[in-house]
């Protein structure tokens, strides 16, 4: 016959390996989710915005909802100049580049966006990545190589951890915001080794800021370079809105500032700015920059327009801070436990004892027309359940009042305040 003999080696027999479902490791998570949804609550991770009517309001399940869980800190998403810049770039350059920055994906708007970043930050160099996640991935994995050390805060964002895993350096963690622990761990490393200390201006879960002057002094004492992620500080910290590092007066000692367009800038993309004289070589060696497509021209054009407007946004900054302080004081007065003693940033975290109360509060708020972020482990440190509120410069005084009224009603209904 024409039948091909099956070689003994691949014939399935008694000693064949059992087929193993690679999804079985997710079974506990699937079961936990199913149990939660069986109680009748909405899925906090499956919210759909049916229409977005302004930087602060959307229609969710047919209901007008105030948005208090976006990172639209400066409310730039509906700015007419930003939208016009995006539309013009769509007309002039098409919908996308279909290529990497290094080969066929650098258009005039990408260079203009990097110029806008250099103007905003007052630096010699600026490099745009396709997301902030990739900016951290690329910068950290490329800067710190074999034999070098990365020293990072234990509560660092996932993109910072992933940047460590992508590279070949040794990774050392220090206790969140502890200057003493940073000093101790740096002191144990070989003196001559290359060292990169990675910090964040604002930590996004609790909204607390880093003691940058003390940390910078310690890092410099041990001969380390410093990268500061200002994702949640750009736009409203410092005289020019550059971030916490500007506000705290340590700009001259920070080697690399990483940021994102997905928060105050109001679109998507990431970047790194620096004055390092050899910075431009990164365009050739940084894999998350080289091996991915560049952002659509319309996106970088909106980013450039937004960044240039953020240079003259003192009134917006002042209103955002007023909103943040008022919400913090109001929630505290109502009896909620908050992530920080005072309003340290535009993020205010309401701490709840368990998942049940957190989801109960989250749903009660949504039913009244308020969307906040539910955050749970592993995104949150130390097994905490948070309702994360992030304010916008475009939230009106009236909206902040409505927000407090809704928190009071939901808190009483769920029983987390008296």
204 or 368: CB nearest ligand PMP: 204
210 or 400: CB nearest ligand PMP: 210
Positions touching ligand PMP (CB under 6 A) are 131-133, 136, 157, 159, 200, 204, 229, 231-232, 260, 262, 270
121 or 407: CB nearest ligand PMP: 121
Least spacing, CB of residue 188 vs ligand PMP, in Å = 27
Least spacing, CB of residue 391 vs ligand PMP, in Å = 16
Least spacing, CB of residue 81 vs ligand PMP, in Å = 22
114 or 200: CB nearest ligand PMP: 200
Determine whether 404 is exposed, middle or buried from the number of CB atoms within 10 Å of its CB (0-12, 13-18, 19+). middle
Least spacing, CB of residue 46 vs ligand PMP, in Å = 19
Least spacing, CB of residue 99 vs ligand PMP, in Å = 20
CA–chain centroid gap for 12, Å, is: 49
139 or 144: CB nearest ligand PMP: 139
133 or 407: CB nearest ligand PMP: 133
Cα 394 to Cα 121: distance, rounded to the nearest angstrom: 24
CA–chain centroid gap for 310, Å, is: 19
Tokens of 292: 């991915």
Task: Look up tokens 């008694």; give the residue.
Answer: 14
138 or 270: CB nearest ligand PMP: 270
Least spacing, CB of residue 64 vs ligand PMP, in Å = 26
Least spacing, CB of residue 229 vs ligand PMP, in Å = 5
Least spacing, CB of residue 107 vs ligand PMP, in Å = 20
136 or 368: CB nearest ligand PMP: 136
Least spacing, CB of residue 14 vs ligand PMP, in Å = 50
262 or 306: CB nearest ligand PMP: 262
373 or 399: CB nearest ligand PMP: 373
How many angstroms separate the Cα of 23 from the Cα of each of 20, 31, 96, 248, 379?
9, 13, 35, 47, 21
Least spacing, CB of residue 130 vs ligand PMP, in Å = 9
Burial 280-319, CB ≥16 within 10 A → b, else e = eebeeebebbbebebbbbbbbbbbbbbbbbbeebeebbeb
Q: Which residue's Cβ has the minimum distance to ligand PMP?
A: 132
């Amino acid at each position: 016959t024409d039948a091909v003999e099956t070689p003994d080696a691949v014939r399935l027999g008694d000693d064949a390996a059992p087929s193993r479902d690679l999804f079985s490791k997710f079974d506990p998570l699937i079961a936990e989710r199913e149990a939660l949804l069986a109680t009748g609550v909405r899925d906090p991770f499956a919210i759909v915005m049916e229409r977005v009517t302004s930087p602060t309001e959307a229609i969710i399940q047919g209901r007008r909802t105030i948005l208090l869980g976006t990172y639209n800190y400066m409310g730039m998403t509906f700015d007419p100049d930003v939208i016009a810049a995006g539309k013009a770039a769509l007309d002039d350059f098409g919908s996308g580049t279909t290529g990497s920055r290094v080969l066929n994906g650098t258009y005039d708007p990408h260079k203009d966006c990097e110029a806008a970043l250099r103007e905003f930050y007052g630096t010699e160099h600026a490099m745009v990545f396709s997301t902030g996640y990739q900016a951290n991935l690329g910068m950290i994995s490329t800067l710190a190589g074999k034999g070098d050390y990365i020293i990072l805060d234990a509560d660092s964002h996932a993109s910072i951890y992933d940047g460590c895993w992508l590279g070949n350096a040794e990774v050392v963690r220090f206790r969140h915001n502890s200057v003493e622990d940073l000093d101790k761990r740096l002191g144990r490393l070989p003196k001559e080794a290359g060292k990169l200390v990675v910090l964040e201006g604002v930590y996004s879960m609790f909204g607390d800021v880093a003691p940058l002057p003390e940390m910078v002094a310690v890092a410099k004492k041990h001969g380390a370079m410093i990268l500061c992620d200002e994702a949640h500080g750009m736009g409203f910290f410092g005289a020019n809105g550059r971030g916490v590092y500007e506000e705290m007066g340590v700009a001259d000692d920070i080697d690399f500032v990483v940021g994102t367009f997905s928060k105050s800038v109001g679109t998507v993309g990431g970047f790194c700015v620096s004055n390092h004289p050899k910075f431009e070589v990164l365009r050739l060696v940084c894999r998350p920059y080289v091996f991915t497509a560049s952002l659509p021209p319309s996106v970088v054009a909106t980013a450039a327009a937004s960044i240039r407007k953020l240079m003259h946004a003192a009134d917006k900054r002042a209103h955002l801070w007023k909103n943040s302080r008022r919400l913090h004081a109001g929630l505290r007065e109502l009896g909620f436990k908050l992530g920080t003693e005072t309003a340290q940033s535009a993020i205010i975290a309401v701490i709840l004892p368990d998942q049940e109360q957190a989801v109960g509060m989250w749903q009660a708020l949504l039913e009244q027309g308020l969307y906040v972020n539910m955050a749970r482990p592993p995104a949150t440190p130390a097994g905490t359940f948070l309702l994360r509120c992030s304010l916008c410069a475009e939230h009106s005084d009236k909206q902040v009042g409505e927000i407090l009224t809704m928190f009071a009603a939901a808190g009483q209904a769920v029983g987390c305040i008296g």
